């Protein structure tokens, strides 16, 4: 990610904004904990007697495969709140590791790709002239600039997107996946609007 400098006054304003967002969405932490208890997640993890992967957890909870991503987003919040710990475990085959345990954010990945494809069509000129798509939206916690409160607020917003609409907040990797599926080749993310970032996408 790229970063733009801010005056101390501007930085304090964005920190205050983040703090207010965090306070207004703090109920999401108890909502997430209640959801975990109702699903029986603590019992499943305890009975497993060893680190459990997301797919193993989803299977034990009898969660439909289409909802696995929702379980991942719930666990991401609970890990951030230190309700559960996250570790890395070897894959069963082939080595490697796996994790055990604003405008596009209101739309599903499928709808976002459709919109982005239309945007790409409109900015690629007939004479090989190319523009760029500009997005202002949340990018979840993969920057050193995010403090714990900012990350919590972004994760709380993600839970709200999951329960209120069909959208989600996304990490940079998740944004990159959308851009790639829509036919874009490059992107640049610049945190500069408090919780939100300037995202420039190039064909």
Q: Among all residues, which ones are annotated catalytic?
A: 105
- Report the alpha-carbon distance of residue 169 to residue 177 in Å, rounded: 13
Alpha helices in the chain (DSSP H): 8-24, 27-39, 41-48, 54-60, 68-80, 109-123, 148-164, 172-181
Q: Which two structure tokens, joined as six digits, stand for 131?
A: 């523009």
Q: Crossing angle of helices 41-48/27-39, nearest 10°?
A: 60
Which pair of tokens denotes residue 77? 């919040």
């Amino acid at each position: 990610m790229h970063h733009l400098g801010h005056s101390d006054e501007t930085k304090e304003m964005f920190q205050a904004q983040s703090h207010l967002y965090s306070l207004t969405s703090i109920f999401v932490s108890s909502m997430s904990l209640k959801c975990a208890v109702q699903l029986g997640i603590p019992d499943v993890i305890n009975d497993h007697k060893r680190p459990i992967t997301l797919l193993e957890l989803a299977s034990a909870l009898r969660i439909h495969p289409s909802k696995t991503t929702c379980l991942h987003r719930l666990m991401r919040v609970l890990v951030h709140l230190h309700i559960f710990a996250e570790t890395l475990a070897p894959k069963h085959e082939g080595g490697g590791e796996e994790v055990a345990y604003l405008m596009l954010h209101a739309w599903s990945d499928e709808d976002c790709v459709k919109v982005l494809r239309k945007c790409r069509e409109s900015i690629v000129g007939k004479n090989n002239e190319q523009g760029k798509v500009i997005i202002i939206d949340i990018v979840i916690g993969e920057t050193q600039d995010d403090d714990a409160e900012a990350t919590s607020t972004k994760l709380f917003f993600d839970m709200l997107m999951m329960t209120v609409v069909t959208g989600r907040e996304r990490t940079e990797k998740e944004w990159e996946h959308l851009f790639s599926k829509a036919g874009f080749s490059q992107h640049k993310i610049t945190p500069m609007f408090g919780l939100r970032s300037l995202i420039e996408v190039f064909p």
